Amino acid sequence: MFSRSILRNLKRASLSAGATLALVAGLVTGTAGTSQAAGTLPCDIYASGGTPCVAAHSTTRALYGSYSGSLYQVRRSSDNTTRDIGVLSAGGVANAATQDAFCAGTTCLITVIYDQSGRNNRLTQAPPGGFSGPAAGGYDNLAVATAAPIMVGGQKAYGVFVAPGTGYRNNATSGVARGDQPEGMYAIFDGTHYNGGCCFDYGNAETNSRDNGNGTMEAIYFGNIKVWGYGSGNGPWIMADLENGLFSGVNQRYNANDPTVTHRFLTAVVKGEPNHWAIRGGNAQSGGLSTFYNGVRPNVAGYNPMKKEGAIILGIGGDNSIGAAGTFYEGVMTSGYPSDATENAVQANINAAGYATTSGGGSGTLTPGSTISLRATTACCTDRYIRHQNDNAITSVITSSSSSTDKGDASWTVRQGLASSSCVSFESRNYPGDYLRHSNYQLHRQANDGSTLFAADATFCPQGGMNGQGTSFASYNFPTRFLRHYANTVYIASNGGSNTFDATGSWADDVSWVVGPAWS
């Protein structure tokens, strides 16, 4: 015998399926990698499914077909002026050229992520709460606007790169679920940028930035922390942060059906209603959504009924826990519990949007004069950066709590290539005049002696990341060799050869680097 709640869910799914099948049919005419015209976008699809968006955040594109307003705001450090960044056309991709022109020669931070739903549920710099952030007054840091360059529909765009200590929040929202009210949410993350810190979240949280007890949150979590719950493999996992617990399923700890997911662009879904919730996920570039959990609330006291408070967070925990890392591109929250059919149509639209990595280094963070850090993309080592130590180039774990010396050693000033203006050289931030240079295939920090050989050894040419992530750097004078970390030492390595560091295993991952904001 069916319960009333099951019948209700089946009815909802069947009613929305007919509408969303028509929406999907309209979406498949677009192909990934091509610019999408204004039309039916995620929040239009949710509205057709009877679960309208009450918050819609993105720094990459419009989430309504008719939206022509601002996506986000940046502030440049040179004069502290701000600029709103809009879309190229109604329903289109972000106008990254506006940001690039405004931020040229200086650093820009993302100060506001606007809400496209019309409810003014915008995200701004998170205030202190149970934990204080590293910025003035205990606020969290703002994201560097150029730290996560990508392509959407063939157009340049930027995501929100969250380093530990970065966070956004709105504690006075409109229309967001409270108590045990139903809601849904999705976000697109960089599935290769994560850590085991608490907590990289997007979703519903406490309105006073403090831990108010079990069930006072309902947010998407992404990372590989195992203190509370976890899934199969070594992570990262999509889980739900319900306060005082990251849940992968009904049990407090382990759900074998919640898999490790590392898609470069990851769609993550969490939704909940009275004594029922689900986790779903998939590749934002292709394919559908899989369901990792669908069932009753956790079998731990305090989560049924839920006591959601209706704030919105990004990059932090509900009590302003600030230890997490990740990258956010777009996300929404809905009123009501969306059907799987509605979410499947949203996923089809996301596929058609054409998320992709940038080709080569681009003109963003590799612009001469900018300061950067280079982060590994290999699954084992996404918290490791190229740094110099005792004049040798190695990779080390660098975090917000690292010493100023370590942060400086892992920071580089981009210079026009000493041997070729179409390539780049990396000058030490802590030792101006010293450059990253290879000798006998190993990388060192050495003073520029002005020789032709030094110039060639210290010049590297950016290409698209060999594993589809970030950027790979070919040696100017050994073009088949790329900057590679091997046993935590940095070499120029070929894909196969007589040296141990030329090993083919994980070569593509080891030679691909995320060009991010400098630690110092």
Angle at 367 between CA 365 and CA 369, to 5 degrees: 105
Q: CA-CA distance, 406 to 384, in Å (whole number)?
A: 12
Q: What are residue 382's phi and psi, to 5 degrees?
A: -75, 0
* Whether 243 is catalytic: yes
Q: Are 55 and 115 in contact (CB under 8 A)?
A: yes
For residue 337, the one-letter residue type is: Y
Q: Is the peptide bond before 127 cis (omega within 30 degrees of 0)?
A: no
474: left (phi over 0), alpha (psi -120 to 50) or beta: beta
466: nearest Cα among 330, 393, 365, 357 = 357
Query: What is the total residue count of the chain?
Result: 520
With a CB cutoff of 8 Å and minimum separation 6, the contacts of 97 are 156
Q: What are residue 155's phi and psi, to 5 degrees?
A: -110, 145
| Helix pair 4-27, 340-353: axis angle to 10 deg | 20
Using DSSP, state whether 137 is helix, strand or coil: helix
* Whether 183 is catalytic: no
318: nearest Cα among 228, 203, 194, 162 = 203
Q: CA-CA distance, 465 to 480, in Å (whole number)?
A: 14
468: left (phi over 0), alpha (psi -120 to 50) or beta: left
108: nearest Cα among 137, 81, 138, 136 = 81
User: How are beta strands 355-357 and 108-113 bridged, if at all?
Assistant: unpaired
Task: Map 59-89 to HEC letters.
Answer: CCECCCCCCCCCCEEEEECCCCCEEEECECC
438: nearest Cα among 457, 412, 419 = 457
Q: Which residue has the tokens 């409109």?
A: 174
Chain-centroid distance, C-alpha 8: 35
Rg (alpha carbons) of the chain, rounded to whole number: 23
Tokens of 385: 């950066």
Q: Are 122 and 170 in contact (CB under 8 A)?
A: yes
12, containing H or E segment: helix 4-27
Q: Which of 243, 258, 343, 383 is catalytic?
A: 243
Q: Which residue has the tokens 């069930």?
A: 215
Q: Which of 115, 183, 273, 319 is catalytic?
A: 319
Catalytically annotated residues: 243, 319
